[in-house]
Structure 1
C-alpha cells in the first residue's frame, strides 16, 4: 500500500482523543460501496454516509491510516463538509465563502509545499472541474502557506505535493486531503501487469467474498499477473495458493510481483489438463476472460472442471461478464449465493459467489 504522510496517523489519533470529528472520505469502485463499508465497519469504524463511489467514515482509531481498507480506491481526510453550492458559476461564490469559514487543514503540510486539487461533481453545471479546483486550491494555499498548482493548462503537478480532492454530489461539497503519497489502489507489490489484469481493490473484494481461512487451498485457474492471489494472500497468509495461466509471460509477471516468502505456487499450463493435481480445492477465486480483450473457449467445460475440483463445502468467487454470470445461474451444478454488479475498466462485469451442488 502507499506510504502515509508523516503525522497522518498521529493527526487521526489526536483528533479522536480530543473528541472532535475527524471524518474520512473513502472513494470506491462503483458497485463495491457496500462491501467497502462492511470492511471498514468490521475494523470498528463508523459509517456516516454512503453514495455512488464514496463513503464518509468516522474513524475510531488510527488503523484507518496504518492498515487502510484494501477495497478502497482512495482515502482522504475531510477538511470541509459544506452544502453543495449549486449549478451555476455564480454559485461558486457560496463555496468560496463556506470554505474560508469552515475549512480545517490537517497538520500534514509544510510551508511552500505544492498543492494539487482534483475535483468532480454530479449533475449538469455551468462551470468546469477546473473552476472548482482553482477556487479550492487558492483557498487551501492561503491557509497552508503552500503553492497551488493549477492543472487547467494540462500540466502535471510537481512530484512532491499535497493532493486534495473536492466532490460535489448535489447535496454536499466535501474537500479532503490524501494522507498518503499515492492513491490506495496503487499497490507497492504491483511491478508487472498483463492484458486483463484486474484492478487491485476489485481483487481484494473477491478475496473478501471468498472468506478464506487458515489452511484453505485456494486456486486461480486464470491467474494472469497474480493480482487476485496476491491480494488474497494479504488477507489470509496462512492459506496455500495455486495460480495457473497458459501464458508464460503472465506467470513470469506473477512471479515478479511475489514476495519470495509468500506461500504461492505459480504454474504455466491449461487448468483443464491438470485435473488430477488440482482436486480437493477449498476456494476457486478467479477472473476468467470476459471476451472483451481476451477470449475464453467453452466456458461450460471450465465450470464443470471447477465443480469437480472444489470440495463439497467449497466456494467459487469469479468476476465474469453478464452472459457468463447467467450461465452460472442457470447451471444446475451450481448454487449461486450472490451476484454483485460493478463498473471497472469501462465494463460492467458481475462478481458471482457460488457453491457446488451435490
Structure 2
C-alpha cells in the first residue's frame, strides 16, 4: 500500500479541475488544501471540491502539506516553486519549469541543496501513445531516425481560455512556451537530448478577441511572436523541423512524424496520453496501427468535450500521472520521471528556440539530460487504482 501524500494546490484556475480528477485514477495523492492570489478563486475551488482554502503564504507554510502542486501562470512558476522548496516542501509544477533558464537552474540547485524533489509537467509522455512510440523506436522498428516533422498549429489560446492575455505577453507568451513543452519533452523522450537549434518567426494577428467567458468579445494586444519555425538537431544526429503557431485556422498534418532508414512512424498527439502509433516500412504498404487503448494510461476516458483546454473530444487524459509517479519516487527514493533535469533541458531548448528564431542565429543547447527510461507496465500498476 502506497503512502498517500497530502498535496496543497496553488493556482485555482482553468487546469485545476483536471488534477482533482487525477485522484480517481491514482492511489497516492490527495489535494487537501488550496490557495490562489485571488482568494475568491480559492474559496470557490474549496467549496467545489470540499477542501480547505488558505492564503498562498499560509499554504506554503502549512506543516500538513508535503507537496505543493503549482498551477499558477508561467511567470509565477519560479517564485512559487522556490518558496515551496524554501519551506521544505516538494513541488510539482505545470509547464514550463520557469520562463527564464537561469531561474530553472536556481530551482534545481535549491532542490538538490535541500534534498527535495522537483516534478514538472508535461507528464503526457508517460501515456500509452508516447510510450508505445518509444517502445517501437527503441526496438528500431524504423531503424535509425534521420529526421522528422512536428507541428502544433491552431488559431490561438483566446478561442478557449477566458483570460488568454498571459499567453500573448512580451516575455512569457507565445506557442513555444505554451505548447513547446509537450512536443519537446516527447521528442527528448524518443530521441534523447537536443544539441542545437535554428529558426525564424512569423508575426500573426496583432489584436485578438476573447472567445469565451465573462469577457467574451473583448480584444487585447499581442506582444510576442505567434509563429515559430525551427530546426532542432539532437545529440544522436536526428533533425526535426518543428512548427509552433497560434496563426493557423486548420491543417491536416500529423502531430509528429519520424523518418528512419527502415521506415516511417506517425506519433500521436503529445498533448494527450493515448492515440495509435502508425508505422510504414515499405513504399506502397498500408500503415500498420499499434493501438494503445488497452494500456492503463492509454484507455479512453474522455467521451465528450468538457471545455478543458487540454482535452480533445475523445481521447485519454491522465494528467497527474507525473505527480503520482513523483510521490511514489519520493517514498521509494527513486529518481522521478518528470524530473528537474529533464524539465531544465526542455526549458533550455525552449529559450534557445525562441532566441534562434528571433535572432536568426544558431543557438547551442547548454544542457543535456539522460534519455528518459520507459514507464513500464509494472511501474504504472504501482500508482493506479
The TM-score range, normalised by the shorter chain, is 0.3 to 0.5
Q: Quick check: which has more Rg, 1 or 2?
A: 1
Normalising by structure 1, report the TM-score: 0.33
Normalising by structure 2, report the TM-score: 0.31
- Structure (1/2) with the larger strand percentage: 1
